[in-house]
Each structure stands twice: as C-alpha cells, then as structure tokens.
Chain A
C-alpha cells in the first residue's frame, strides 16, 4: 500500500483532554476578572432591596454619591432605552427597580467607584424609604391567590378520570422538590468597554452572548450592531448564566455608556446568590390508578412551580417538567396540569435539566409508591411500565418514542451492578440492623434533546484556514467547562485531517457568529458541532475542487489524511495546499449553519415532536441511613449511559460523574431556606451545602454504553450528555426511601420531600406515612 492512501486519523471518538486543561492547572486560563484591566477602569456595584415586596416612597442616594471615591450613581431613570431584561419579551423584569420592589435582593441602583471595595461600601449607604406590601412567598399562597406569571397549561391524553375510577388500585400523594443554587465557582461578572461612535464591547461570563448583546442594545437604545459581546470561558454556569448573566452586563454597559469609561461589575458570592435565580421548586400532586402488576392505568399530575417575580424561562421550564412527567414510562390515560406561580422571590431560571428533573422525580416517586403498595421490587414495577418498542410508545404529548434502548440498557446494568443479589443482601442486613438501614434503587432517565422552543434550534459557525494551514474555529456555543470547544475542534480536525493543535479555538463573539441561541439544553455540541462541520466541509470542497484541477485527478481520488492531502500519486501538506489555494484566489473562509431537522411542535396544544431524539441512561444507587439522626451516605453507584457514539468518552464520563453528583446534591444536602420575610438565608457556602469530595460514593462505577449509537443523523451519531446524568441521581432519593420504608413498616411509602436532609429523613422515620 503506497503512502498515497493512508488511513485517515480519527480525531473524534477519542478521549482527548479539555483544550484548556493545561491552562486550568497552571492558573493561566483567563476568566473575565483575570483579564488585564483597561486604563481608567471603574468598578460598579448594585444597591439592592431588603424587602420582598414594597413600594419605594423615597430613594435618598446622597450618601452614596458623596462617599469618597464614588464617580457615578445610576437609577432606572438614567436608562436611555428600555428598562427590561426579560428574555421572553414579557417585559416583566426591570434592570433596576423603578417604584416597585418585587423580591429581597432586587437591584435598585448602581454605583461606580474607583475601587470595588468603595463601590460595595457606598452601595450600603442608600436610604430607601418603603411601604411594605403583602408578599406571596410560597407556592401554596400563590395557588390560593391564583398568582401566576403565565397561564396554567394542561396536557391531556385519553381519559384519566375514568381510568382512575375503574383501576384495581389507586393512590394519591404529594411531593415537594426543593430549589437549587447553581453555585458556579466563578460568580457573575462583566466588563464593558466603550468604543468609538458610542459602541460597546462587553466581556462577560454568559451562556448566551447574543441575548446579552440584544438586551444591552435595547437598554441603551442602540441597534444590535453597536454592541459586541465576547465570552472566552465561564467558571461554571449550569443554566445560571443563560438569562441571568444579562443583568450584570447591562448594568456595567449602562455605567460605561454614561461615564465613557470601562466598567467592571463582579458580584460578591452572597449577592450573587441573593440576586440571581435558582432551580424551580415544585409542589407535585399525583393520583394514580394501576393494576396488580403495578402497571399504570391512569394518572394525573399537578405541578405547581415557583417561578419567582417574573417569567424568565419559567414557561419552557414548566413545559419540560410536563414533558418529563412520564420519564421512561408509557402513560395511556393521563392529565398533567401545570401552574406557573408568581411569588415575591428572585426569578427562578434555567438549571441543568430545565424542569426535567422535577417532572421525573414525580413519576419515580409514583413507581416507588406502587411497588410499596403491592409489595414488589420497585424495579419490577418500573420495567412493567417502560415504553415498549412498537406499541405503548407514544408520549403524552404525542411524540413516538422511536429510539428506546432502556430495556436492553437496564438489563445490562442490573447484571453489572449485581442489583438482585445486593437487594437480597440488603433485606437481610436490614432485618438485623435497627439503627443503620440500607436501601438500593435503580432508576432510568429518558431525556428529550432539543429546545422545546423550536426556533432556537439553530446554530452557526465560522471557520478560516490561513495561508499556513492553521485553522481558526469559531461558533455560537460557549465554554462553561463542559468541553464543547474541544469536541468541536475534534470535529473540525477530523474533517481536515489535521492535528488538533492546528485548530485555534477562539472566544465566542457576537461579531463573528450572530443571532445565536444559548448554549443550553444539552444541545451545544449537536448544533454547533454540526454547523462547524458544515463550514469545514465547504472549505474542504473548495480545496478538493482546486486540487482536482491543479493535480488533474478525479475529485474522488483526493483524500485528506495525517496533515496531508493525497491527490492520486501526489501528496501535499495541508498547509502547502492552503497556500496554493490562496494564490489561486480560493476563499478559505466559510460559515456553517445548522437547523435541527424533524422537530415539529405546537406550543398551543403542547403536542408534536419537540425533540429530535432522547438520551438514555440508568443508575443503581445504594445508601445507608442512620435512623437516630437521619444522616445518610451514598455507598455505591453504578451508571450506564447511552452517549451514542461518544465524540470524546473522557469528556462525557466527566459530564456523567459531575451531573450525577450535582443531582445528588440537589436531592440531599442542598437546601434553599427563606425566612418568613422572604429573605434568602442560604446565600453562601457556609449555609448552602453543595457536595464535597467526601460525598462521592466510595464505589462509583460509570460506564458509557458500548452499544450506543444515535439513530438520528447527529454529529458523528453522538448523543447529548450535559443534562441527563443529573437525573440519574433520582436513584439516590429512591434508595433513601427504601431504607426508610424498611424501618417504619408503614403501609404507605413515607413521603420524603427533597432535599432529603438529615432532618427530612428523620422526620419520615418518625412518622407513619
């Protein structure tokens, strides 16, 4: 075999380290606050409300203005454009409060000073005279008063009422799921730099630079093209910087516009937690009818969702919760009602899973309860209810589940985790262990991939090949740690068959790829990867055409491999070909665009095909519960996840492990606590407890399913991995329930709300039901 036709080097489906890994470990990866500070930089901070609901009678900022070192103070009156940061055109959330305060922690004014310390100190000096108003602080009150940010929604299929009435067995119950703070390690931060003509460059930590750009433009009363927003990387985001990074960028930009000086705004951790939204907490009621095998005949869910003071993304989040009320199970006769409650608390927002986890928790709770009622292994009940392959395979919103792999995947996991033996051993253990009880549970996850807002499913990329063959890669996705940049670089390197080092990863910039969607919904790689591949292929096609002519060979004989282009008998380096193509006046730059195919969804009827495909996985968790104190520990976890044909198994494993632990935190230690005045009391790591290294299960076996392959034509047949693993942590909650139930012997499964803190667990252990 001549070296003219070597095998291509595979750049995808390989475990390559994160592109910034060396910089991360050396401290040389730059985040917004690490960038060199421009001359004349001012530091901006916000003054916030102490009340949950109040009318401002008088705002006295004289002490703020007079504080030494303060340069400027701004209120809503100083905003030249529209005072609104609502991402969904609800116009229900101001940048700075006008006369009405709607949650404790709401920004009222901003102050710029020569140092951050001065700005922070000065921000405390305002005298805000208020008339306190009655506040709606919890879901129950909101339901009672019909206080909603958006209209209630219903998904209905079949006749759940009759099914419930005629079923052999029927159960009712309720479950509360707690909120969750994102606790990205890098807090919200933005730096705005005025440019000529009054234009603005904003460097920010946002998952959605285009939205930041558009909101700044309308707040400043300028066209979009006057604003450029750039994001190189975030120190974590998890949904918390999807819409809610905008406010701080806007405030910095307004101040920069007013003063004509660069302005940085970085929130302190406590203020970040007080003033930005969290995962929605839910009240879920259910009414289920089932047969003696535990198969569900009819079910009704009521979701009451705490949205906070504005809509933000609550509409699609609550929708997604409804779409995941089935999780992996066929529900023939079903009604799901969703109330989007308005409360005088910070506006809740996107968080990994986007409502999906809450919806799934409801149905998994139902599975456990049915099993308990019938005295069966919950796994038997789950298996009996799984979507079938050819029938019983239509979701409540009328989408056919075409790609279900769970029967096979769960079967493998049951074996590899020795679920059945361990369940038996645990039963034996529990019989003789009055204080320490164990529990084990297997839960699956089926998660729909695509934005349910159909028009968001579009992405763009920009690829340049320079004369020396080096490649500049840009696309609309943002890097928050998930490894998006390296995966897309792998895709482009694979197209050109060049070394990864040849691909320059560049900051996401609204000036390069416009009108992008947020990097969210686990779809960052699916969408931007496909767009980048298309851009690369355009250039490649031009190069092939050029080479075909130049070397007089058929296009089909031209092959890219190992940094070279093989043209029949000749071989030329990729860089040499780039140079020659340039001399021949061939364009070496291209954009790529992708719109997700097949999706078709009617938001009026909440039905259709909102998702291109589903991601699947399952987990077995084992826990120990201390019946004297309610403390628990996760002792072993086994996960099997379908990442399709994984683009980068190492990166994907990282998402699975990290997502699982984050989900376990949501369900166990991470408690959001509001006091009676609606003030958040868990606003720092001293009071809000995300998992530490000691919370990682001693045995943590994570595997990517080797049979995984996306039946849809996604990028290299891979599957999304960002969000779904978080929901595998529901197995922890189920396992704790099993442990508690073994102790109480109550007829109905104890109703354990989340987070299952030691206190919540002990309460269940000491109650009968």
Chain B
C-alpha cells in the first residue's frame, strides 16, 4: 500500500498523506490552496460552477474530462492531473483562446458560472482537437453548466468560435511533458489514507478489494461518488471508511465475449456509451441524457445499479435486454438476473462484504426491437419522472417475446408483466398496443411526488408504448420532438 495521494496541480506534483477521506476537490482548492477561481454553486454536482478538468493516462495519451469538483473526493485524484481555471492564463497574463472567445462574445455577465464553463470548454477543446465540434456536441458538453444570466446564446457563439478543427494550445503542445509527469506518479500499489479512525482505500485489484470489504464490511464503496458526494455535502455525514473502486483494474474493463458484453462496475457512462450503443442503438437517447457530461464522466453504470434507486436510468433498459449481474466477495462470485437484484425500496440483493463486479449485457438478436425513453421536467440533466424500456422480438408481424420495464413507476425498476403477457404471442398492430397500454394499469400503482403525479406517470408510461409502436412502424407523420420530420401531405 502507498499512503500518499499524488497528483499534478499547476504543473507540480502534489503529495498529500493526511486528509479527510471525503475532502472534496473543491474544498481542497478553495480552502487549502486558496485557489478560488473555482466556485461552489450548489455542492451537489448539478450546476457545474465548480467544473475542473481531470487528466489521466489512457493508452499512450492523456484523456481530459470535465468533472464536478464539489462532489469529487480529493483522494480519487491519485495518479491524475488536475486543471483549474487558474491554469488557463498564459504566464504573461494572456488569455487562452477559450477565454478570449468568451470575452469577445460577451459570454459572461455576473461571471460566477464562467470558470466552470471555461473548464467544460477546455475539456471539449482538448478532446479530439483535429475535428470541429458541432452545435449538438456543444450542447452536450455544456448541459451540466447552468448559467442564469446570459440565456446561453453568447456562450454557444463563443464555443462555436473556438471549437473549430485543428485546435492547438499549450496543453496540446506540452503533451509530452505532462505525459512524463503523469507516468512518474503511477504506481501499482493500492492507496490507503488514514485520518484518525477514518480511512480511504483505493485498491488496485479485485483481490485487494475483496479483502478490504471483508475487513471493513461497513465501508462505503464509491466510484464516481455522484450520489455519495451528497451524503457528505448535504447530509453532512462523516463516513468512516471509503473504498474507491475506480483504481481496481478489473472493474474498469469492458470485454465482449461470444454472447455477452461485460462491463466492469466502475466503468463510467462516458466510457460505456459506445460499447453499449453499438449493440443497442436504442440506448443512445437515454445514455446521452443521464446527468450531464460531468456526471457521466464520473458516474458509473455499476453505481447506478448498486445504489438501488427506483429512478436510476440504466436498469430498465438493461433489464429488458436481459442483463445479468455478477457479484463478488472474498468468498466467491455469483451471477444473478439484474432484475432480481432489486428487492424493494432501498433493499438490494447485496450481501455484506460483496460488491457489484460486472454487468453482463447479452447481444441483441436479429428480430429484436429495442428502445428506451426518458421523461423529465427538463430535457437535459434532470431525473426521470418516468423511464421506459421495451424489447420485443417480432417475427412476421407476430410478437414472439416482449419485455417491458419502467423506472419511476414503482419502488424499484420493475417489469410490466401483465403488459408483457398481452403483447407476447399477439399481432404487432395498433390494437394489440392499445390492449397492452391498458394492461399497464394492472402492473403499477405509481406515486405522486415533486417530479410528477401518479396520473401523469401512468398516462405517460402507456403513451410511451404507443410511441414505441409508432416509431417502429411506418408512418406519415413525426412522432418525436425535433425530428425535423415533415408530414406527408397526401390529401392536399
């Protein structure tokens, strides 16, 4: 075990051997380092004012990503590189190209959110610099940064000005030095930070992780900490021991075998997106709308499942796809159907000393129609009021098999079994769909809360099945917002 968190800040190696296991990157920057360019807007990873860029080794290069400093624990930076807004100015006070564009386009008003936007833009700037970013890339890259003054229009203009093809800056030019610096702080040893009775562990292997779980059955496991971070910043909880899964090599792996795609529990949404959507394009509209970029860079599919939320966005789609889950402890490994993991509200099939190891996603079959839908008050970066997933095997106009699952409709992500029965074995036609829509009432008794009423949830759940049908049959009219579909006007 090594006992020092080492990361690069302002071009220098920082070494920290004593720190609170849940000290956030934001508090570290603002309080310990007096670097106050990074702001706190919400302390829950929802506004992006605290956005910083984290660089880490990826293959033979550095991958830079925007994350929310307010809920990122400092010790998770071990072996990484941290960029803050203070890093952007050139030595003589000249502004970075991104900063110049923001000034030129009047992209700041009160200025409080601005450093966060600058850092999100920097992450985009450094990502694939040879190719220009599209408006849609820009919206996706900045959806996690709230601005209350500008209405975003000048920020879009600044982004379009600066995110052109063949981007070049100091960070790209100095890639080699930074790479060497990063390589110098890599280690194969697990990390242990002690703070009185409290500990932070970052094991490097499954075996070490299992041993730690055995020794510390009450430890809190974190990966992106996009949820646990709030226990600290909002509930003011003092966590005794924290085990960080992000350094466990096996948990970061994505592998495809003959019949399965296996995704390690610590793989982020960002990293899993391509592998999943290649197999299941129907996952795309959902994965793109989980949290926002900063949350998707930190948050993991394993975490989305493990914490057992009834409104986690990934489980419904994974369940209808027939995903399985492997769970691991010092005593061995077991594999269960993902849907069986969710026992009740706040209750999962996870034993003491056990962790979620990987998600096994079966490969789709030829006649499979698969889609996911997310409904929320705001289109981007919102928590679902209803999340729906449908997977049907349709052969010669007959529904051979149907799996339907909803989030936000019950105390766990839950399949609509009555609805499935109506669909299975019946004709793929509007009449069947209407019967199946009516059957959903038998499957759920949703609740009314801040996100939606019970009535709305039920009606939308039914209507999403209608949409699924319409989208997969030929139509003369558009069925989705922004589809740019021009209706066929036959009778004019």
- A627's nearest neighbour on chain B, judged by CB, is B463
User: A481: which B residues are within 8 A, CB to CB?
Assistant: 108-112, 149
Residues 53 to 109 of chain B near chain A (Cβ within 8 Å) = 84-86, 88-89, 95, 98-99, 102-104, 106-109
Q: Is the CB of B37 within 8 A of A654?
A: no
Q: Is the CB of A692 within 8 A of B378?
A: yes
Which of A480, A689, A702 makes the CB contact (< 8 A) with B377? A689
A270 in contact (CB, < 8 A): yes
A604 in contact (CB, < 8 A): no
Residues 454 to 487 of chain A near chain B (Cβ within 8 Å) = 480-483
- B117's nearest neighbour on chain A, judged by CB, is A25
In whole angstroms, what is the CA distance A658 to B145 when docked? Answer: 15
Q: Is the CB of A238 within 8 A of B148?
A: yes
Which of A30, A631, A658, A695 makes the CB contact (< 8 A) with B149? A658
Q: Is the CB of B103 within 8 A of A686?
A: no
A235: shortest Cβ distance to chain B, in Å?
3
- B154's nearest neighbour on chain A, judged by CB, is A654
Which of A27, A433, A654 makes the CB contact (< 8 A) with B86? A27
- Total A-B residue pairs with C-beta atoms closer than 8 Å? 274
B467 in contact (CB, < 8 A): yes
B452 in contact (CB, < 8 A): yes
User: A685: which B residues are within 8 A, CB to CB?
Assistant: 41-42, 44, 46-47, 146
Q: Is the CB of A21 within 8 A of B103?
A: yes
Which of A139-147, A166-174, A757-765 is near enough to bind chain B? Answer: A757-765
User: B104: which A residues are within 8 A, CB to CB?
Assistant: 17
In whole angstroms, what is the CA distance A766 to B385 when docked? Answer: 19
Residues 220 to 245 of chain B near chain A (Cβ within 8 Å) = 233-234, 236
A289 in contact (CB, < 8 A): no
Which of B199-207, B297-305, B477-485 is near enough to bind chain A? Answer: B477-485
A693 in contact (CB, < 8 A): yes
In whole angstroms, what is the CA distance A240 to B109 when docked? Answer: 16
A646: shortest Cβ distance to chain B, in Å?
13
Q: Is the CB of A692 within 8 A of B380?
A: yes
In whole angstroms, what is the CA distance A21 to B110 when docked? Answer: 9
In whole angstroms, what is the CA distance A584 to B46 when docked? Answer: 60
In whole angstroms, what is the CA distance A626 to B385 when docked? Answer: 16
User: A660: which B residues are within 8 A, CB to CB?
Assistant: 151
User: B103: which A residues are within 8 A, CB to CB?
Assistant: 17, 21-22, 25
- A660's nearest neighbour on chain B, judged by CB, is B151
Q: Is the CB of A693 within 8 A of B478?
A: no
Which of A26, A269, A694 makes the CB contact (< 8 A) with B41? A269
User: A27: which B residues are within 8 A, CB to CB?
Assistant: 36-38, 84-86, 114-115, 118
User: B111: which A residues are within 8 A, CB to CB?
Assistant: 18, 20-21, 23-25, 29, 233, 235, 481
A201 in contact (CB, < 8 A): no
A550 in contact (CB, < 8 A): no
Which of A435, A681, A702 makes the CB contact (< 8 A) with B470? A435
A104: shortest Cβ distance to chain B, in Å?
15
- B232's nearest neighbour on chain A, judged by CB, is A117
User: A658: which B residues are within 8 A, CB to CB?
Assistant: 109, 148-151
In whole angstroms, what is the CA distance A317 to B116 when docked? Answer: 34
- A16's nearest neighbour on chain B, judged by CB, is B106
The main secondary structure of chain A at its interface with chain B is loop
Q: Is the CB of B106 within 8 A of A235?
A: no
Q: Is the CB of B459 within 8 A of A766?
A: yes
In whole angstroms, what is the CA distance A237 to B109 when docked? Answer: 11
Task: Fill in one digit per residue for A666-707: 1 if any B CB lies within 8 Å of its CB, else 0.
Answer: 000101010000000110111101111111101010100000
- B120's nearest neighbour on chain A, judged by CB, is A693
User: B89: which A residues are within 8 A, CB to CB?
Assistant: 26
B379 in contact (CB, < 8 A): yes
B257 in contact (CB, < 8 A): no
Known: A21-B103, A24-B114, A436-B481. A654 touches B39 (CB 8 A): no
Known: A433-B487, A654-B109, A681-B450. A628 touches B37 (CB 8 A): no
Number of A interface residues at 8 Å Cβ cutoff, please give it.
93
- B46's nearest neighbour on chain A, judged by CB, is A685
Q: Is the CB of B153 within 8 A of A657?
A: yes
Number of B interface residues at 8 Å Cβ cutoff, please give it.
92
Which of A182-190, A318-326, A565-573, A713-721 is near enough to bind chain B? Answer: A182-190
User: B456: which A residues are within 8 A, CB to CB?
Assistant: 630, 758-759, 762-763
B482: shortest Cβ distance to chain A, in Å?
6
Which of B102, B110, B490 makes the CB contact (< 8 A) with A185? B110
A749 in contact (CB, < 8 A): no
- A651's nearest neighbour on chain B, judged by CB, is B106
In whole angstroms, what is the CA distance A482 to B110 when docked? Answer: 7
Known: A186-B41, A631-B375. A690 touches B148 (CB 8 A): yes
User: A626: which B residues are within 8 A, CB to CB?
Assistant: 480-481
User: B113: which A residues are within 8 A, CB to CB?
Assistant: 185, 235
In whole angstroms, what is the CA distance A671 to B42 when docked? Answer: 18
In whole angstroms, what is the CA distance A23 to B40 when docked? Answer: 17
User: A160: which B residues are within 8 A, CB to CB?
Assistant: none
In whole angstroms, what is the CA distance A689 to B375 when docked? Answer: 14
Residues 419 to 436 of chain A near chain B (Cβ within 8 Å) = 428-429, 431-436
Task: Fill in one digit per residue for B357-381: 1 if any A CB lies within 8 Å of its CB, else 0.
Answer: 0000000000000000001011111
Q: Is the CB of B148 within 8 A of A183?
A: yes
A653 in contact (CB, < 8 A): yes
- B150's nearest neighbour on chain A, judged by CB, is A658
Of the listed residues B86, B95, B153, B486, the one surrounded by the most CB atoms of chain A closer than 10 A to its CB is B153
In whole angstroms, what is the CA distance A589 to B36 when docked? Answer: 35
Known: A17-B103, A185-B113, A684-B46. A657 touches B150 (CB 8 A): yes
- B35's nearest neighbour on chain A, judged by CB, is A27
B183: shortest Cβ distance to chain A, in Å?
29
User: B139: which A residues are within 8 A, CB to CB?
Assistant: 693-694
User: A185: which B residues are within 8 A, CB to CB?
Assistant: 39, 41, 47, 49, 110, 112-113, 146-148
Q: Is the CB of A121 within 8 A of B236?
A: yes
B438: shortest Cβ distance to chain A, in Å?
16
Q: Is the CB of A436 within 8 A of B150?
A: no
B338 in contact (CB, < 8 A): no
B138 in contact (CB, < 8 A): yes
Q: Is the CB of A653 within 8 A of B106?
A: yes
Known: A684-B44, A692-B378. A629 touches B463 (CB 8 A): yes
A725: shortest Cβ distance to chain B, in Å?
9
Q: Which residues of A contact B (CB under 8 A)?
A: 15, 17-18, 20-31, 33-34, 117, 120-121, 124, 182-187, 233-238, 268-270, 428-429, 431-436, 480-483, 624, 626, 628-633, 635, 650-651, 653-654, 657-662, 669, 671, 673, 681-682, 684-687, 689-696, 698, 700, 702, 757-759, 762-763, 766
- Offer 7 A-B interface pairs, CB within 8 angstroms, sorted by A: A18-B108, A22-B103, A34-B36, A432-B476, A628-B464, A632-B481, A759-B453
For the complex of A and B, 3 pairs with smallest distance between CB atoms:
A27-B37, A481-B110, A235-B112
